[in-house]
Amino acid sequence: TVPTTASKCTAHPDCCWLAAASSTKEQMSCLGIDVSSTVQGSELDHITVEGIEATDALGRAICQSQLTVRCEGVAPLNLDLKLSPDDLEPVFSGAAWAGTVLWRAAAVLVDRAFLGADAVQIKGRTCIELGCGLGVPGMACARLGARNVALTEQQSLVDLLTRNVAANFSAGEDVRAVSFPWSRAGAEALKHDFCDGGCFDVIVCCDCVYMPLYGDSWKALLEAIDALAGPATDVLISLERRHVKDGDDGVDPFLEG
């Protein structure tokens, strides 16, 4: 298993957690970041996020159609968020819609873990992002020199991911969007395809634990991480705590698991 240690943040009981773990050392840092539903530029030191909104015939904003994410020192990521009519129904009939949003947890992870003063070494290492949504952390890894980058999501979001990979990376850069239902067997197949059977060097996962939306899928997520990681793997998990009336957001059992 990939060990972590966890503790409550007494100053900020509702916050964004950034958990960094490896099989060679245990560490967990709780970032005191106030909860909000959108990325706040003031809490990001090394990246900026700009959105372009689609409008109706009256000029009213109806949805966000494009994002530009600028990471310090590398080329920006330009992400098209538009879905075809055929793609809309499967995405919005379940929990996959969450993968069409850049959540705070992903932006904070890129800012603190990849670009901060104590940034994790990325260049030349294999990388996988689990439940990647728009794939910003995984794409940031590729921009920073990671090799054999796997952006994994539900099948209904793979086309959108593939389109954005093609728009931001050349054919010679090995960044691929693939479907990955979390499982040990699926993890072994990914290791074969991306790492010649070995383990990934870096595993990234942002905001993939929330029981009201995803149920207890965190158990399968833990199994997948365990199968993908090796003795020297860095596992970076960023989570935002959310209030759940008469329930559990699932973060505590996940961290304890």
Residue 87: the pLDDT is 57
Q: What are the CA-CA distances from residue 133 to residues 17, 95, 160, 220 (Å)?
A: 18, 11, 9, 17
Closest CA to 30 of 4, 3, 7, 2: 7
Residue 117: the pLDDT is 86
The identity of residue 122, as a single letter, is I
Tell me the Cα Rg of the chain.
17
Per-residue exposure over 53-87, b if at least 16 CB sit within 10 Å of its own CB, e if not: eeeeeeeeeeebeebebebeebeebebebebeeeb
Q: In this structure, is the dihedral angle defined by the CA atoms of residues 253, 98, 205 and 243, taken in order, positive or negative?
A: negative
Closest CA to 32 of 17, 53, 54: 17
Residue 95: the pLDDT is 54
Which residue segments constitute the domains of the chain, with CATH numbers given? 16-256 (3.40.50.150)
Place of tokens 């979390």: 182
Most confident of 15-19, 31-35, 88-92, 121-125: 121-125
Q: Is the pLDDT reported for residue 88 higher than 70?
A: no
Q: Please, which contacts does 78-82 make with residues 24 or more away whose CB atoms are closer than 8 Å?
A: 78/164, 78/167, 78/168, 79/134, 79/136, 79/164, 79/167, 79/168, 80/160, 80/163, 80/164, 80/167, 81/134, 81/160, 82/54
Token pair for residue 208?
């993939």
Closest CA to 202 of 176, 168, 225, 178: 225
Question: Over the stretch 108-142, which tens digit does the pLDDT of each residue have?
Answer: 999 999 998 889 999 999 999 999 999 999 999 99
Stated length of the chain: 257
Closest CA to 23 of 203, 177, 172: 203
pTM of this prediction?
0.79
